[in-house]
Amino acid sequence: MTPSPSSTANKRLLRAQRILDAAAQLLERWGYSRVTIDDIARHAGIGKGTIYLHWPNREALFMAVLQRELLQFINDLAPTLGNNPEELLLHRLVRHFWLAAHRRPLIRAVFVQDLETLGRLTTAGDPAFIAQQYEAFEAYVELLKQSRLLRADITAREVMYVYRATITGFFLAENLIPADYQPDAERKADLLAATFQRTFEIPEPPPRAAIKAIAPEIVKIIQRIAEAKKAMVEGGVSSKE
């Protein structure tokens, strides 16, 4: 009996996820430069050639691993954003993202440009895909500015620069300051959020009506980001079989 197309596709999806799981575990444990396709195949319990049915090379596979980490974060956060429009404000999203990066070592490695873990992945990536992510962030910032939920005198690119620099600084400080003198993760997230709120947002309390009015558009922007990441991750599901 010939397997149905849906059954075959599901088998490919499960196999791709098993490969991604193995690659993520080894990337976190050993770092990019030490992990080979042979290592991943053994860890996933499959043949080496099977991996190439999903991804053309090691770099493409590991890029899919990183994008899956970010996609899982977005998917985990989606219910909170849907039920609480205030969580779409800049300082609240920053708080959520920092906590996710704190809990997910591979996302954290991206922020601190951890060469030992990520190797050449710190500078790799499709320029068109990267530009799409930045354009989505700019659209988000412009929506906030138009609704007077963000200062009008700062550009989206300036916000992005401070965003990356500040979050990276919060992570690097953990290696510079004795643990006894550091607040816990939740408090760090609160301090980071307060920094962004005071720097970029208008001092007046944000009107709930304004937030609710633009919430659907912001959710669409986040969904587009998620769809782009999903396409990169699931690109490995398409098999040459």
Does residue 111 contact residue 164 with C-beta atoms inside 8 Å? yes
- pTM equals 0.85
Rounded CA separation 24/64 (Å): 10
Q: Write the pLDDT tens digit of every residue in 54-80.
A: 999 999 999 999 999 999 999 999 999
Rounded CA separation 177/227 (Å): 39
Class of residue 87 by CB neighbours under 10 A (exposed 0-12, middle 13-18, buried 19+): middle
Asked if pLDDT for residue 2 goes beyond 90, the answer is: no
- Which token pair is 161? 């620069």
How far is residue 213 from each of residues 91, 121, 122, 155, measured CA to CA in Å? 18, 39, 37, 22
Q: Between 125 and 28, where is the model more confident?
A: 28
Q: Write the pLDDT tens digit of every residue in 78-118.
A: 999 989 999 999 999 999 999 998 899 988 888 888 888 88
Q: Between 205 and 183, where is the model more confident?
A: 183
Question: In 3D, which of 29, 21, 182 has the Cα closest to residue 109?
Answer: 29
Cβ neighbours of residue 36 closer than 8 Å, sequence gap 6 or more: 58
Cβ neighbours of residue 240 closer than 8 Å, sequence gap 6 or more: 53
Question: Is the C-alpha dihedral spanning 28, 31, 34, 35 positive or negative?
Answer: positive
Q: Write the pLDDT tens digit of every residue in 132-185.
A: 889 999 999 999 999 999 999 999 999 999 988 998 899 889 889 999 999 999
Rounded CA separation 9/22 (Å): 20
